[in-house]
């Protein structure tokens, strides 16, 4: 039992949730270490949505709302942490929700799909094929889903697949707390924020942005600026850490 007055309450509850989902086969053991890397970077941005992250979240909403075939790609950690937020983003954006896993087993795919459905998402499933040019199992996807997407949001992505999707001509939105990862560097748009803070902001922006707002955000998109702002934020906190 984690006491609610513990200073790291939220983080401890999140870890407990991930551990429980690892035991039930939704999260891969490796996903626990991936979360740890994310937590370390979250410390460095002060565990809050920075101004540049909010700009990235609004831009992501503009990209999803103007897409012809938007897709939300979900892995085990994303489902464990944010199944309801995924359902909310789907309702606001009309995007397809499709499961894509690095540590892929049919059993894990089914468990994640069930968890998403229980949270209210409509999951695009069915026959997957090895369609992406990758030697690992993230190559598996559906022809009418991810393979045909023009805009794809990939929380907690692997660098290889992000690169492959961009090379296929897709616009890729990454949610990644590490601005130095290959994913962050290769994506069309990178949101350097924690997943459960980022998704509700994107959903809100999907509902609130006017057509003129979208146009303005899309024409001003500059991922180099967004990454450099995230790195500047982290550098500033580190250099003032002992003030």
∠ Cα 176 200 141 (to 5°):
55
Considering the complex, state which of residue 193 and residue 214 has its C-beta at the smaller distance from ligand ATP.
193
Considering the complex, state which of residue 113 and residue 157 has its C-beta at the smaller distance from Mg ion.
157
Q: Does 157 bind Mg ion (CB under 5 A)?
A: no
| Other CB atoms within 10 A of residue 56 CB | 31
Pick one of 49, 52, 93, 183: the residue that binds ligand ATP (CB under 6 A).
183
Convert residues 19-58 into a mask of x (bound to ligand ATP by CB under 6 A) and - (unbound). Answer: ---------------xx-xx--x-----------------
Convert residues 21-60 into a mask of x (bound to Mg ion by CB under 5 A) and - (unbound). Answer: ----------------------------------------
Pick one of 151, 175, 205, 226: the residue that binds ligand ATP (CB under 6 A).
175
Q: Rounded to whole angstroms, how far apart are CA atoms 162 and 173? A: 9
Convert residues 159-188 into a mask of x (bound to Mg ion by CB under 5 A) and - (unbound). Answer: x-----------------------------
User: Is residue 81 helix, strand or coil?
Assistant: helix
Name which of 135, 115, 131, 133 is nearest 123 in CA terms. Answer: 115
With a CB cutoff of 8 Å and minimum separation 6, the contacts of 148 are: 69
Minimum CB distance to ligand ATP, residue 42 (Å): 7
Pick one of 53, 95, 177, 202: the residue that binds ligand ATP (CB under 6 A).
177
Considering the complex, state which of residue 186 and residue 197 has its C-beta at the smaller distance from Mg ion.
186
Minimum CB distance to Mg ion, residue 232 (Å): 24
- In this structure, are residues 121 and 73 in contact, taking their beta carbons and an 8 Å threshold? no
Considering the complex, state which of residue 50 and residue 100 has its C-beta at the smaller distance from Mg ion.
100
Q: Rounded to whole angstroms, how far apart are CA atoms 62 and 158? A: 24
Q: Does 84 bind ligand ATP (CB under 6 A)?
A: no
C-alpha torsion 135→137→138→142, nearest 10: 110
34 binds, among Mg ion, ligand ATP, none (CB under 5 to 8 A by kind): ligand ATP
Q: Does 158 bind Mg ion (CB under 5 A)?
A: yes
Residue at shortest CB range from Mg ion: 158
Name which of 150, 85, 145 is nearest 119 in CA terms. Answer: 85
Q: For the stretch 222-233, what's the b/e string if a residue is b when 16 or more beta carbons lie within 10 angstroms of its beta carbon?
A: ebeebbebbeeb
DSSP lists the bridge partners of residue 71 as 96, 152
Interface with ligand ATP (CB under 6 A):
34-35, 37-38, 41, 81, 156, 158-159, 175-178, 181-183, 194-195
């Amino acid at each position: 039992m984690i006491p609610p007055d513990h200073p790291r309450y939220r983080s401890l509850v999140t870890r407990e949730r991930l551990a429980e989902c690892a035991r039930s086969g939704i999260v891969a053991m490796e996903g626990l270490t991936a979360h740890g890397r994310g937590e370390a970077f979250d410390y460095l941005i002060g565990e809050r949505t920075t101004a540049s992250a909010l700009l990235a979240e609004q831009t992501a909403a503009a990209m999803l709302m103007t897409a012809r075939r938007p897709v939300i790609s979900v892995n085990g950690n994303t489902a464990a942490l944010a199944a309801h937020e995924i359902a909310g983003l789907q309702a606001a954006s009309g995007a397809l929700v499709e499961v894509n896993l690095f540590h892929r087993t049919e059993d894990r795919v089914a468990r994640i799909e069930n968890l998403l459905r229980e949270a209210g998402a409509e999951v695009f499933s069915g026959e997957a094929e090895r369609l992406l040019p990758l030697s690992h199992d993230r190559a598996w996807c559906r022809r009418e889903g991810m393979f045909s997407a023009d805009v794809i949001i990939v929380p907690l992505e692997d660098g290889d697949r992000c690169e492959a999707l961009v090379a296929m001509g897709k616009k890729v939105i990454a949610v990644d707390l590490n601005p130095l990862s290959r994913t962050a560097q290769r994506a069309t748009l990178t949101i350097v924020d924690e997943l459960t803070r980022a998704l509700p902001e994107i959903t809100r922006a999907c509902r609130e942005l006017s057509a003129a707002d979208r146009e303005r955000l899309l024409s001003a998109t500059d991922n180099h600026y967004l990454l450099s702002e995230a790195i500047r934020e982290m550098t500033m906190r580190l250099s003032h850490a002992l003030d």
